[in-house]
Amino acid sequence: MAVIARNQEQQVQAALADTPVVMLTGARQVGKSTLGEQMAARMRAQVVSLDDPATRSAAREDPSGFIGRLHLPAMIDEVQRAPELVYSIKQTVDRLRLGGERAAGSFLLTGSASTWDTLESPESLAGRIERVELWPFSQGEIAGRREHFIDALFDGDPPSYEGDLPLSRAQIAKLVVRGGYPEAQARSEPRMQDWFSQYLALVLDRDIRDLANLRRPEDLLRLLRLCATRIGSPTNVDAMLRDLGISLSTGRRYFDLLCRVHLVREIPAWGVNLARAAVRSPKLVIVDSGLAAHLVECSADKFVGGPDTRPGPGHLFENFVTTEIVKASAWSRADVKAFHWRDRSGREVDLLLERRDGTIVAIEHKLSEAVGADDFRHLAYLRNQLGDRFAAGAIVHAGRRTLPFGERLWAVPVAALWSP
C-alpha cells in the first residue's frame, strides 16, 4: 500500500522546532513508526528501534551509555520498551541547554503505550516534551484531503457534499467496518477480520505486558468486547465488571490498561453552565470503528441489514462519526476539547467541541437519509441555553444535502466530514 500522508505532519514539525523531545504516541499499528521515520529522514536523524532485542537489551542495561552514543538528533522507536532511557534523555537535554546549545528537536520518540504514567524513574520530562497522539487514518487522510469540517462549523458555514448521490448504507457500512488502521485498508473483509484478531492478540501480548503482569489476559479481552457493546453510553465500569464477574480492583486496572494502550477512549461529560442537571459520567468510544465492528462481530452485510439494536449499526455509526471528528480536531484551526452532554431529563448531545473562548459546536448523528425538525430538539435546547456561546449545531446523517433547520442548526451529510 502506498504511504498515506498524515495531516499531523505540520504539528510534529512545529513541535520539533521548539521542543527538545517530541513523542508520537497512539495505538499499535496506526503509523507512528512510518511518520517518525519520514520526519527523521528530513531531520537527518539517527534511527534506533527498541523492537530489536539486542538494541533493547543494551538500552536497558546501560541507558546513559546508550543515549550518550547516539548522534543527535535521534529517533527512538518503541521507546516504551526501555523506560529506563527517560532519565538519560532528560540529562542530555539539560546538558545541551546549560551549554547554550540548541536542544529543540533533539529526540523524536514513538511509543504504543502510555509509558510516561508508569515510569519507575523519579524524574520526568515535564517541560521538555510534547506528545502528539496519532489515531488510525481519518477518511480525509485516506482520500488525500485535510478536513475542515470543524472550522467550517465554528465559522457558521457548514460544508456541503459535492457528490452526485449520497453515500448508500452499503457504502457507509464498508467505511465503518474497515475503519482507519493502515493494514486494514487493502484487505478483503475476511482477511481484515483475521488481521484484527491477530492485532488484538499482539496488543495483549506486547503492549499490555510492557505495562503490567496479568494473571488472566483473557479477562482483558472480555472487558474490551463488553466495552464495544457499550459505545455511545455513559461509562459504568463497575457495572460492566459485575456483569463479567471480575473483581472491581482488578477490573478497574484492566480498564485503565485498555485506555493506556489507546484502544478505548472516554469522552468526558460537559456541564459548565448546566451543571445541576448534567450527568457526569464520561462516554465510551472505541478508537477505531473497524475494531469496534470486529469486537461485536458486525460485518458490512450485518450493518446494512441489521436492526438498530445495541450494539447495532446506529451505535457503530456514532462511534465512526465521533472518532472522525476527534481525529480532525488535531489539525483544526480551532483549538477544541471534545465532550458529550446528557441531562437528567433525558436530553443529550453526542459530541460537543468547546473552543478556548468557550464557544461551542454541538454534533449529533443519525443513520438515515431523512432528518426532521424533531431530531433537532436537543440541539435547539442547548442553543437556547447557551445563547451567543453556541456557534452551530449539526446532525451528521446519511442524506445528500446540507440543509438549514433553524438558527445555527444544520443537517450535514456524513461525506461532508471529509469532502473538499
Residues 129 and 153 in one domain: no
Mean pLDDT computed over every residue of the chain = 89
The pLDDT, as a whole number, for residue 122 is: 44
| pLDDT-derived band at 325, boundaries 50, 70, 90 | very high
| pLDDT-derived band at 121, boundaries 50, 70, 90 | very low
142 located within any domain? no
The pLDDT, as a whole number, for residue 120 is: 46
112, 134, 156 - which closes a domain: 134
pLDDT at residue 231 above 50? Answer: yes
| Number of Cβ within a 10 Å radius of residue 325 | 26
Output 80 or 139, whichever has higher pLDDT.
139
Task: Specify the DSSP element, H or E, that contains 141.
Answer: helix 139-142
Residues 112 and 205 in one domain: no
pLDDT at residue 235 above 90? Answer: no
125 located within any domain? yes
pLDDT at residue 114 above 80? Answer: no
The pLDDT, as a whole number, for residue 90 is: 93
Residues 160 and 114 in one domain: no
Residue 153 grid coordinates: 462549523
Q: Report the length, in residues, of the chain.
A: 420
Residue 44 sits in a domain whose CATH number is: 3.40.50.300
Mean pLDDT of 268-284: 73
| Number of Cβ within a 10 Å radius of residue 248 | 11
Could you give the C-alpha distances from 21 to 97, 203, 304, in angstroms and in order?
A: 13, 25, 46
Residue 230 grid coordinates: 457499550
Backbone angles phi, psi at 3, to 5 degrees: -70, 130
The pLDDT, as a whole number, for residue 338 is: 96
The pLDDT, as a whole number, for residue 234 is: 84
The answer to whether the predicted template modeling score (pTM) of the entire model surpasses 0.75 is yes
Beta-carbon contacts of residue 41 (< 8 Å; ≥ 6 apart):
none
Note whether 341 and 270 are within 8 A (CB). yes
Residues 122 and 154 in one domain: no
| Number of Cβ within a 10 Å radius of residue 29 | 17
Report the alpha-carbon distance of residue 132 to residue 26 in Å, rounded: 8
- Residue ranges making up the domain that contains 103: 9-134
139 located within any domain? no
Three-state secondary structure call for residue 378: helix
Residues 199 and 346 in one domain: yes
Report the alpha-carbon distance of residue 207 to residue 411 in Å, rounded: 41
Output 420 or 157, whichever has higher pLDDT.
157
| pLDDT-derived band at 206, boundaries 50, 70, 90 | confident
The pLDDT, as a whole number, for residue 163 is: 60
Residue 373 grid coordinates: 425538525
Residues 123 and 157 in one domain: no
pLDDT in tens, 15-71: 999 999 999 999 999 999 999 999 999 999 999 999 999 999 999 999 999 999 999
Nearest 10 degrees: CA dihedral of 338, 136, 315, 310? -120
Tell me how far apart the terminal alpha carbons of the chain are, to the nearest angstrom: 23
| Number of Cβ within a 10 Å radius of residue 191 | 12
Question: Comparing 150-164, 177-191, 373-387, which segment has the lowest mean pLDDT?
Answer: 150-164
94, 113, 134 - which closes a domain: 134
78, 99, 134 - which closes a domain: 134
Q: Is 254 exposed, middle or buried (0-12, 13-18, 19+ CB in 10 A)?
A: buried
Mean pLDDT of 329-334: 92
DSSP letter at 116 equals: G
